[in-house]
Homo-oligomer: A and B are copies of this chain.
Amino acid sequence: MALIRSVFQDELDGVSQSLIDLSNMVSTSINKATHALIDLDLKLAEEVISEDEKVDSYQHDLDSHIIDIIARQQPVATDLRALVTALRMSADLERMGDLAHHIAKIARLRHPAAAVPAELKDLVHHMGTVAENLSRKIAVVIDTRDTEMAMQVERDDDEMDKLHRQLLGSITNDTWTHGVESAIDLTLLGRYYERFADHAVSVSRRIYFLVTGTFAS
């Protein structure tokens, strides 16, 4: 019995490690997508676009593996909840990869022109940095189950919301001179970064709930 439990624990650890790997993959994607966008780097944009399939297939394999563990080990209570939560986190992470992919596609669509006007590059770059920090932090939260860091993720998301409002404020300002197409690009880019952060918060809350049994306030 002790042996079976130990094998099962190894399997749970393996699932956590795969979620950490996925977090690292999407952290790299959002980093590259932001650089593609800001530095007009078409090669980086193409990389993010082609690597999204790898994220999807990694997530797909992980999900099959989790369901296989549930079927074989028939866990109950806490262990079952951990595995179901892992399925949900992998869905969040896959979606974060999609959002990085959407950002890279806007960079590619406008290349060699810039989707982001010069005076907004710092702001959008800042959003990209906050997004990447969020996905790096959730890898740590998944690994360490550190609830203090989970709370930090919430605060970083507040920062993202602030930057997002600032971006929308710049577009709707009367001094906007970049036309409607650029406004659409920036509206979508803002939305993609904001959703990326939302999914990071979602992962972090799921871990918080697993650890504490309560919702972060």
Contacts and interface: CB of A to CB of B under 8 A. Distances in A.
Interface stretch (A40-48, A79-87, A133-141, A148-156): A79-87
Interface string A144-168: 0000000000000000000000001
A184 interface: yes
A81 B188 CA distance: 35
Contact of A180 (B77, B81, B171, B188): B171
Nearest to A192: B191
Main SS of the interface on chain A? Answer: helix
A131 to B, nearest CB: 18
Contact of A76 (B71, B76, B84, B91): B71
10 contacts: A67-B84, A70-B80, A70-B84, A71-B76, A171-B184, A172-B181, A172-B184, A183-B187, A187-B188, A191-B191
